[in-house]
Structure formats: C-alpha cells, structure tokens
Amino acid sequence: MIAKCVMVLGTTSGAGKSWLATALCRHYARQGLKVAPFKAQNMSNNARVVEGGEIGSAQYFQALAAKIEPDVRMNPLLLKPERDTHSQVILLGQVNAELTRMAWRARSEAVWPVVAQSLDALMAENDVVVIEGAGSPAEINLSSSDIVNLRVARHARAQCLLVTDIDRGGAFAHLYGTWALLPEADRSLIRGFVLNKFRGDAALLAPAPQILQDLTGVPTVATLPMWWQHGLPEEDGVFDMTPTLVASRTALPPSGEDPPDLPGGGGVPCLGRPGAAAQTPEPFTIAVVVYPRISNLDEFQALKNIPGVRLKWVRSAAELADADWVILPGSKHTSGDLAWLRAQGLDRAVAEHANRGGAVLGICGGLQMLGEALIDPHGIEHAYLGNAPGLGLLPLVTVFEADKTVRRRTACFSDVAGLWSALSGVTVQGYEIHHGQTAQQPAMAAAGDVARVLMPDGLAWQNTAGNVLGLYLHGLFEDAAALQALFGQHGAAHVPTLDAVFEAMADYIERHFEPRVLAGLIEEPTPITSNT
C-alpha cells in the first residue's frame, strides 16, 4: 500500500500542530484505517523511549492515538537542546556524535536520505500517514536546508493544513503572509486554513475568511474554539505559567460549549501529605522548578487533573514559599541548570524546604542535583563547566558516562519511609534517559550517612528522614498505581486515560471541521470548499 499523507503546518511554533496531528491520527484510525504519525525533525527535550531508542514525545503520543506501537522512524531526527547554540542529535533513536558536531546546513543534507527512507517505509505500511511540520514553512532563512516542512510535503505529495493561533492576534495576516512567502509552486499544497484557540462569537470572523480565500484560493476549513486542559501533554516545552487548580471538571468548556466527556466531577480532596485523604478547602501545592534546559516536563500533565491539587511552575525562590511538594524535574544539562538554580537562590530555598521536613522529589537530572557532586570525566555536559557540587540533600555522587542509558523499565518500590511511604510496594512503569550513573558517596557512607536504596539498579534513593526522594525513572505520575497510592482512588479517578483524551480530541475536530473536509484530505485531490 502507498499511504495518503495529510500534513499539518503552522504559521508559528505553538500554533497547535502537534495537537491537531494527534487528533487527526485518532480520527483516521477510528475510520478503520491503518495510520502512522511522522515528523522528520523535532527539536525538543521532551522525549520518550521506544523500541530502538528515543523519539519526541509528540510522535510517541501520536502513535498511541493512531493505535500503533511507537517507532523510531516516526521521528527519525530528534534535536535535544543543551544550550542556545548546541543540541545533541538523535538519529533513528540513538545519539549520533558525528552529526552532533556537524554544522546545521551540512547536517540536513546528510540526514535527508534517512528521513526519506523512514517516511517511505511508513507510507508503504499504512493507509494514512499524518505528518507534522516544524515551526513555519515560511522560514525563508532556512528554506535551503529544509528537511521537515515543504521538502517533506513534496516528497509525500501531502495534502496540507495550515494552522494558526488566533488567540495571539494577527491570525489572518499570519496565514496570508505564510502562504505568500511560500514558493509559488508549493502554494497548491495548502488545502485549508485552520483557526485554532478561538474565543468569542465565530460570526464576528466574517468577512475575513472569504477575503482570505479570495486572495489565496484557500478556504478556512475549521475554527477550533479554545479548549483549556484537553489532557494531551504539552509539546516543545510549552506550558502555562499560571498555577492550575482543578476543582470540579477535567476540561473546561471551550467557547460556551459543553466540555468533552472526560472523567470529572466530585469533591476536592486536599492532600496534607502524600496519601492523605482529609477534606479541606486549602489546595495542595506542587511546585515544579523550571530551569532553562528542563526535560520531560510532559510527564506532569496528570497533576493538572487531580482535584484539590495546584500545580505551579516556579522560577524564583519566593514562589516556593507555599509549596507542599517541590519537584526538581529532568534536565538536558544538569550542571548548567544547577548553576542557574544557584544564581536564582533556588538552591537555598529547596534546602530550606527540605530542612523544614517538606517533601522534595528529584527526577533524573533532579536526582543528580540532589546529591553531593556531579563528575563529568568525558565532558558529556561540556568541559567548560567541569565538575560541580550538588545540593547535598542525598549522600550520592553522579558520574557522567559516555554511553547513554535509554530503556523502558518496570520496577517495584521497596519499603519507602516518611512522607513518601504510600509508594511502598508499588510497582510502576516508566523509562530512563540519562548519561549519569549515581552511587553512594563512599566517605559519607563510612561516616554513617547512607541513602536508602528503594529500587534495583539505583533507580530510586531516599534520605534517612524520608522526605527527600530521588528517581531515575520518568513517568511516576503517569502510572495509575502510583497515582492511586499518592492521591487515593478519588484523585486518581479524575485523571483521564490517554485513550479517552484521544477520543475526545477526535470528537472535537469532527464537530468543528467543515463537512467532508477530513475525508477529502485522503481522497484523490479535489478542491476543498468551505461554508465559513
């Protein structure tokens, strides 16, 4: 079979490409079609472990929406930023040192054959391939080395949608300007415009869609109302800095319509500490520290849906004052982010929180920061930073190895003490992505300061007081057993399954796209018309 290809392009990053591509994957899959996602190149520190290595989180979730096993071919090139001018390059799931050292433009030509082969293979195996672009196809400074937007669209003979975020303003100018900057031969690839994140009365959009169609020949085929908290983890490090408190519904109704049928309702339990069940009007505040190279922040999506929990993203010491839990998440550059933490005074604030008996959780890079020292003999995190002292909250030392650990894991907590005791005996599924290898600090162990080992292979550690926990395992808050242990059945029940999220997303686009547009995209090319 040779798949029909539908491609989602955007006027900007954050316009809604990943979200719409995910919804399209589920829509076409539930028509009985064999569907696969594809994004030639993704730049993100949000990654997931699949067979063969790691891919961007967006393509991982798109594959699940398409009801197939995620595959490294779905995101053949992943760039993981380590600083403003440098990224680690992942090719077909594995770190590629040669490509990492290569200049951007030279790299594009070197990897295009792998990109094309991956896409061709997916097209040969599926009925539909849903392709996601990156940034904007009108980035004319990068057009000569493009391997993710128009070059992919031409290769796949894709039917393209161009989506824009109307909530930011200037949406019609963004659509027209993007279309106008495309090479004239490529403009025919654009089959429809999509207005995303609309708030207000759609009748007030007229006559703009018709004027835009008169100028471009391209109809506006959907106006998607704003949908807060749809349940899909955010992509590319985009998140809402406003503290989130979910009291009664998982999803808020977009623009006056009823919210999709996701789990919700009920009272608002507040957690005085993990596993508590007391009812109180005071929210339970979980603070996630947002350093510059934060990674895998999408694993905290479930916390947005727990009733009575306020999730906040923190960048200053003052913001930790009301936190019940402090989470140090993963980092693509642990030593650099630790230096940033100190520059903000957050190191002292985290230590003070822990010394008062407050709960602290470090995940992957966050675990490494909690220890006594970071040692980088191979310059993995770049030699100019050298070795660094940790926060000293766990008696551990991390050594960065040349080989990267990338694997899925299932592991069971042993006897967990103190504030995290609800996790005792809980088996959780997750994944590891790290260069660091962490072990007990020998001199401290000789002096009697020994960290508690909670999982095999050094996957989890705890201090003797029981309030500081470090994990190499990503995905704790995506595991149903862990959620139930920490928040009780009532809280965990409010976290929608991913399948429910995908179904609601498909329902949503089916309601808001013009009739026959979605079907028309996978038929032989014919003009798409709009009644907007």
Q: Which of 155, 270, 364, 512 is catalytic?
A: 364
Crossing angle between the packed helical segments 346-355 and 334-343, to the nearest 10 degrees: 90
- Peptide bond preceding 207 in cis form (omega within 30 of 0): yes
Cβ–Cβ < 8 Å for 463, 452: yes
Cβ–Cβ < 8 Å for 272, 449: no
CA distances from 520 to 159, 179, 531 (A): 9, 21, 15
> 271 by DSSP, 3-state: which?
coil
Whether 474 is catalytic is yes
What kind and span of H or E run contains 188? none
Cβ–Cβ < 8 Å for 192, 530: yes
Cβ–Cβ < 8 Å for 24, 15: no
CA distances from 476 to 303, 309, 459 (A): 11, 16, 12
DSSP 333-356: SHHHHHHHHHHTTHHHHHHHHHHT
Q: Residue 304 corresponds to which tokens in the numbers above?
A: 């947005």
Whether 364 is catalytic is yes
Q: Nearest to residue 432, comparing CAs of 397, 376, 476, 399?
A: 476
- DSSP conformational letter for 413: -
Q: Nearest to residue 376, comparing CAs of 407, 336, 414, 413?
A: 336
Q: Nearest to residue 467, comparing CAs of 293, 312, 350?
A: 350
Distance (Å, rounded) from C-alpha 357 to C-alpha 168? 43
Three-state SS annotation for 20-67:
HHHHHHHHHHCCCCCEEEECCEEECCCEEEEECEEEEHHHHHHHHHCC
Q: Nearest to residue 67, comparing CAs of 408, 502, 504, 509?
A: 502
The sign of the CA dihedral 350, 355, 356, 362 is positive
Q: Which of 27, 230, 434, 474 is catalytic?
A: 474
Report residue 246: phi and psi, to 5°: -100, 115
DSSP 273-306: STT---B-SSPEEEEEE--TTEE-GGGGGGGGGS
CA distances from 156 to 22, 150, 183, 503, 508 (A): 19, 10, 17, 27, 27
Distance (Å, rounded) from C-alpha 392 to C-alpha 441? 11
Pairing of strands 77-83, 41-43: parallel
Distance (Å, rounded) from C-alpha 164 to C-alpha 138? 13
Distance (Å, rounded) from C-alpha 58 to C-alpha 1? 25
Give catalytic residue positions: 364, 474
